[in-house]
Structure 1
Amino acid sequence: MGNRRIAIGVGGAVVLLAALDAYVITTILVTVVDDLGIPINHLERITPVLTGFLLGYVAAMPLLGQLSDRFGRRAVLQACLAFFAVGSAVTAYAKGVPLLTTGRVIQGVAGGALLPVTMALAGDLWEERKRPVVLGAVGAAQELGSVLGPLYGVGIAAAFGWRWIFWINLPLAVAAMVAVHFTVPGGRKEGEERPGVDVVGGALLALGLGLLVTGLYNPHPDETAMPSWGLPTIAGGVVVLIAFVVWEARTRTKLLDLSGVRRGPLFATLGVSLLSGAALMVTLVDVVLVAQTILDKSSTEGALMLTRFLVALPIAAVAGGFVAHRYGERWPMVAGMLISAAGFLLIAGWPADLENASYGPIPRMDADLVLTGLGLGLVIAPVSSAVLRFVPAAQHGVASAAVVVARMMGMLLGISALSAWGFYRFRSLTENLQMPLPFDSGFKAKLAAYEAAVKDALRTEYQEIFWVTAALCVLGALLALAISTHRDDKNSVETQSERALTQ
């Protein structure tokens, strides 16, 4: 009993390590931009650094999880930790965006395997009845990364510089590899059949997502909303993802076997996870950018501003679990997405004098961010609970990973699409602005007017992004209505098991 608890504790620690690095970049973005010499009005150049990690994370997660079924948990965990250290070193050393993006992609690919492998390890070590509690603890480590990652990043960056966020990963990864070696069971039992690996499915998923992200990336937003290769590349990505779905329906070895599963409610639940992920990433990135580009705050002050949202998130996640247990998963999901939609609408309406705006004695900024965090947090536990209810216990690890894959996919596609639109809008709003020269008459007044016009353009850009995010949350609420509750779901795996026990 003690050894397996240590093993899953080590697994949870490596999941947390990868999760921290998934979110760490959000609060140090402007700091990295400054260090690399990228002008603040060309933030689109840093977008691949954000999307590279997420793309690697999402694309690798299902396939590497299957590889651990074939070659054993210990070997895959150690290999991924080694590559994670390599990616961290490349990221820390990088002097430009291409190498920085390469490092982040390597980190993402390696980090993406750690969650499903650890969840599968829980399935190996615990019997079916006790497994959900262990899976919940591993999932909590993943969720903790979204809360601590932005604060962890800005704390290390403020104390030692942003590159040390990634240098620190090297000794941590080595220590984790040693711990995995001594605690996680190695290999497979002699004579045990090695399951297949859906290499084609994994490759199609990675290629399809990669094409979508490439099509959405626009290095010249001052010219068009979408690059010349945008529409054909996106169309190609859609075709490849359709091919992925067809392949998964026909192949014997699948990334996620949905045999006997009610697909409508399952896909609706994963859709809610995807849309909440998009909203989460927009908040983590754009709230900090608002703080730094409009309110003239430092990266540390921007992270502290974000804490209003981050503190509310886990509090609501706990509350959502209790509500879902009592009333079923549908209503906390619907309520959470609608509350977050209201929060984004309020954020979109932030006035120019935000720091002095208030609702009576409560600062408006604080109230709006807390409300948004409560809404998105309320969704976390019901989504995971609903997915586990729809699939057999033998697939709980894969299903739990699917929830994270959906959320990360939402983060990836959401930040790609909304960033592309936002950068284009900013350029179109500022294309007629002329920065005054120091020898112009009335230079100080003209410079002040120019800076005010730039901030107005930024405010409009952020406002439109938050409006779209609010609409995504409303769509998530509508999807949640399609998810049955415990009481009215007569065909869920859980309900079938309960009926069998009473007969």
Structure 2
Amino acid sequence: MAQEVRAPHTGGGPGGPGGPGPGEGQSRRSVVVAMGALLLGMLLAALDQTIVSTALPTIVSELGGMEHLSWVVTAYMLASTAATPLWGKLGDQYGRKRLFQAAIVIFLIGSALCGIAQNMPQLIGFRAIQGLGGGGLMVLSMAIVGDLVSPRERGRYQGLFGAVFGATSVLGPLLGGLFTEHLSWRWVFYVNLPIGIVALFVIAAVLHIPVRATRHRIDYLGTFLIASVATCLVLVASLGGTTWEWGSAQIIGLCVLGAVLLVCFVYVERRAAEPVLPLQLFRIRTFTLVSVISFVVGFAMFGAMTYLPTFLQVVQGVSPTMSGVHMLPMVVGMLLTSTGSGQIVSRTGRWKVFPIAGTAVTALGLLLLHRLTGTSSTWEMSVSFFVFGAGLGLVMQVLVLVVQNAVSYEDLGVATSGATFFRSVGASFGVAVFGTIFTGRLTRNLEDALAGQDLPPGAGPDQLAADPRALAGLPPDLRPAVLDAYATSITDVFLYAAPVVLVAFVVAWFLKEDPLRVSVTAPDPSQTLASNPVERSSYDECARALSVLGSREGRKAVYEKITARAGLDLLPASSWLLLRVRRHGTVEPARLAEATPVPLRVVTEAARQLEERRLVAREGIQLVLTEQGARTAVRLDTAREDSLSELLGDWWGPDRPTDLVKLVEELTAELGGCDAERPRSPEPPRDHQA
């Protein structure tokens, strides 16, 4: 979580001194090709969060160690969570292209090693290497968008990255099942290699972004300490009651170590120049409550997604591919309600109902999952999966919106990444807790089911718990009892998770529904479906939200609004043209139409209306302001400032940050179209022209 430096943005924002702005000097084709390579990089990280789930039962069967299943997921999550803030800071400091290439290489090395792993400890270690690279792919690909394109286009391109997340949520389980069933589970990891190599070569050839070094005081110690605290928590959750007794010296030692490290973390963060998680955010009640809810959402979401494929493949007896198909209702429910709730909140400004309803529906979904058995119908499972996914979707988008709305502009980026950080830690913790409950229950249930039975060699409770394939060696009359033991062990996990989600339901009632800033808009799926913390600066978050103003529809809406606010009866294009004439002194309509996206017909009609109203006059082929036109343009200019003030709320106060002023200036210039036909006026713009 990068702490904001209140200085002009030099990475993803307006060009710094002596450097070109985003996208300048690059052809449209090179930008599109570079975006394709970035999308491939994002695809690698996004796919790896979902493709492994349906392969896990097969991996465990081949490598053994059902009790270690959770760590295949947790190792990746912990490593990517810890690495994400470092990648963001290092990219600012040393250039994002090289760092992005390094992240791809690390990710590919981890993928290749995962594919050749011979036992579970090896696979878990190699997954951590993968996670280190995956964290970089996530944060740097989104940051490079800001280096390549102007703020006006940023939302559209970042929307593509969100679409990749949505697609991989659906395709990941299916592809994981297909590879596992028809090739080998190892191809779940090998598939990354050709994609990553293509991305590496394309990035090297076509990605040309200026390196503007931004000096950071990187909080290495804080990053190490928070990762260590999270690891201690997860170790206690995954090893307590299984590998070691809860009262054992090892578990007590881990608890004490985690507490000591947490105290050290608080001490370090109080003194860090750029803390990885600024403690002052916890003084904001909304941020603290959202962090708790985010933790619980991550806990439930990734815990369930990890163990549902095991239920489907072992208990229901479906193939890996079909287990991916069976999980689609959950993903569809999540995507539908996540997108829908975000859009509704952005339009209505009302949001409190969604965290409350979302946590309630999620708890209901967990109770429905608990009721599943080996004889449950496909229809019954699909409804349960859909309800669970719909509940998660209702709350995920809204949490990011709420926390962005609660903080000042300076903390916008770090608050967003802070909220998603707690979801990532919750995901790691949830997978570990689910694993502990499942392993403990499975061993006991199998012992009860097989007590006094004459078992064939290699088919004892311990063997059956470690390798589901041992079921094939059981006599037919014993299989139903063993399958029931597996079903009960997995579904009991969902029952124990329901009260945890109800805690979030209670916490959600204490959220205060502050009016939503108009500039806070629904985040893309990369901020809600990913397990990694999102790392964007305040500038990038604001640019993404405001980028809608630069679209053709957005530009028209802006000029309709400021025309009405100024009390004028003009076409939106006429207001636009009048402000351009005021800005440049003179404008030639034909050249203006050539240099901007506005059609000549629209420019001509606007010019005719301005001449008829005597707001402009002709000097040859040039338009110039009349005295009446100058007064009208001032009214429009004031209305534009008022509209921006309303849009940005208290962010646009007297002490507004320099990078926000630059962003608004750049977007305002783009609202008028491309300025290629005439240089900017040399006079420094007044604040109200921003």
Class of the TM-score when normalised by the shorter of the 2 chains: 0.7 to 0.9
Higher-Rg member (1/2): 2
Is the contact made by 2:176 and 2:320 (CA closer than 8 Å) also made in structure 1? no
Q: 1:327 to 1:187 in 2, by over 3 A?
A: closer
1:387-414 CA-partner distances (Å, limit 9, x unpaired): 3333455665554444443322211110
Is the contact made by 2:316 and 2:374 (CA closer than 8 Å) also made in structure 1? no
Q: 1:194 to 1:157 in 2, by over 3 A?
A: same
Q: 1:34 to 1:428 in 2, by over 3 A?
A: closer
Is the aligned partner of 1:420 residue 2:436?
yes
Could you say what secondary structure the match of 2:388 adopts? helix
Structure 2: distance between partners of 1:127 and 1:156: 40
Is the contact made by 2:232 and 2:257 (CA closer than 8 Å) also made in structure 1? yes
Could you say what secondary structure the match of 1:63 adopts? helix
Deviates further, 289-298 or 119-128: 119-128
The amino acid across from 1:57 in the alignment is S
Q: 1:223 to 1:214 in 2, by over 3 A?
A: closer
Instruction: Give the deviation of 1:338 after TM superposition.
Output: 1.0
Q: How does 1:151-300 map to 2 (within 5 A)?
A: 151-186=174-209, 188-189=211-212, 192-218=213-239, 221=242, 224=245, 229-257=250-278, 263-300=284-321
Residue 497 (structure 1) aligned to one of 651, 659, 679:
651
The amino acid across from 2:351 in the alignment is E
Q: 1:261 to 1:69 in 2, by over 3 A?
A: farther
Deviates further, 345-354 or 316-325: 345-354
1:200-249 CA-partner distances (Å, limit 9, x unpaired): 11111222222222333339838746875223213312331342233223
Residue 97 (structure 1) aligned to one of 98, 116, 120:
120
Instruction: Give the deviation of 1:461 after TM superposition.
Output: 2.0
RMSD: 3.3
Residue 470 (structure 1) aligned to one of 495, 498, 510:
498
Deviates further, 252-261 or 106-115: 252-261
Residue 411 (structure 1) aligned to one of 427, 432, 445:
427
Instruction: Give the deviation of 1:168 after TM superposition.
Output: 2.1
Q: 1:219 to 1:204 in 2, by over 3 A?
A: closer
Query: Structure 1 or 2: larger helix share?
Result: 1
Structure 2: distance between partners of 1:245 and 1:21: 33
TM-score, normalization: structure 1? 0.86
Residue 313 (structure 1) aligned to one of 306, 309, 334:
334
The amino acid across from 1:215 in the alignment is V
Could you say what secondary structure the match of 1:229 adopts? helix
Could you say what secondary structure the match of 1:431 adopts? helix
Q: 1:327 to 1:293 in 2, by over 3 A?
A: same
Residue 85 (structure 1) aligned to one of 83, 105, 108:
108
Residue 53 (structure 2) aligned to one of 20, 26, 30:
26
Is the contact made by 1:201 and 1:247 (CA closer than 8 Å) also made in structure 2? yes
2:460: which partner in 1? none
Is the contact made by 2:244 and 2:251 (CA closer than 8 Å) also made in structure 1? no
Deviates further, 429-438 or 80-89: 429-438
1:352-410 CA-partner distances (Å, limit 9, x unpaired): 53128xxxxxx222211111111111222212222333345566555444444332221
2:345: which partner in 1? 324
Instruction: Give the deviation of 1:186 after TM superposition.
Output: 4.7
Structure 1: distance between partners of 2:405 and 2:203: 31
Instruction: Give the deviation of 1:33 after TM superposition.
Output: 1.9
Could you say what secondary structure the match of 2:49 adopts? helix
Instruction: Give the deviation of 1:487 after TM superposition.
Output: 2.1
2:18: which partner in 1? none
Structure 2: distance between partners of 1:257 and 1:126: 30
Residue 132 (structure 2) aligned to one of 83, 103, 109:
109
Is the contact made by 2:281 and 2:415 (CA closer than 8 Å) also made in structure 1? no
Could you say what secondary structure the match of 2:52 adopts? helix
1:93-144 CA-partner distances (Å, limit 9, x unpaired): 1111122112111000110122222333344456667756655554554454
Is the contact made by 1:270 and 1:406 (CA closer than 8 Å) also made in structure 2? yes
Residue 454 (structure 2) aligned to one of 405, 428, 436:
436
Residue 60 (structure 1) aligned to one of 68, 77, 83:
83
Deviates further, 86-95 or 292-301: 292-301
Q: 1:405 to 1:142 in 2, by over 3 A?
A: farther
Is the contact made by 1:323 and 1:332 (CA closer than 8 Å) also made in structure 2? no
1:454: which partner in 2? 482
Q: 1:455 to 1:193 in 2, by over 3 A?
A: closer
TM-score, normalization: structure 2? 0.64
Q: 1:428 to 1:224 in 2, by over 3 A?
A: farther
Is the contact made by 2:181 and 2:321 (CA closer than 8 Å) also made in structure 1? yes
Structure 2: distance between partners of 1:129 and 1:245: 39
For these two proteins, the number of residue pairs brought into alignment is 485
Q: Quick one: percent identity of the two aligned structures?
A: 26
Instruction: Give the deviation of 1:416 after TM superposition.
Output: 0.5
Structure 2: distance between partners of 1:341 and 1:427: 26
The amino acid across from 1:253 in the alignment is E
Unaligned runs of 5+ in 2: 1-22, 458-471, 521-541, 543-647, 657-687
Is the contact made by 1:72 and 1:188 (CA closer than 8 Å) also made in structure 2? yes
The amino acid across from 1:472 in the alignment is V
Unaligned runs of 5+ in 1: 357-362
Instruction: Give the deviation of 1:264 after TM superposition.
Output: 2.1
Structure 1: distance between partners of 2:339 and 2:134: 26
Instruction: Give the deviation of 1:34 after TM superposition.
Output: 2.4
Structure 1: distance between partners of 2:243 and 2:83: 34
Structure 2: distance between partners of 1:226 and 1:398: 38
Is the contact made by 2:110 and 2:126 (CA closer than 8 Å) also made in structure 1? yes
Q: 1:278 to 1:102 in 2, by over 3 A?
A: same
Instruction: Give the deviation of 1:278 after TM superposition.
Output: 1.5
Q: 1:322 to 1:307 in 2, by over 3 A?
A: same
Could you say what secondary structure the match of 1:34 adopts? helix
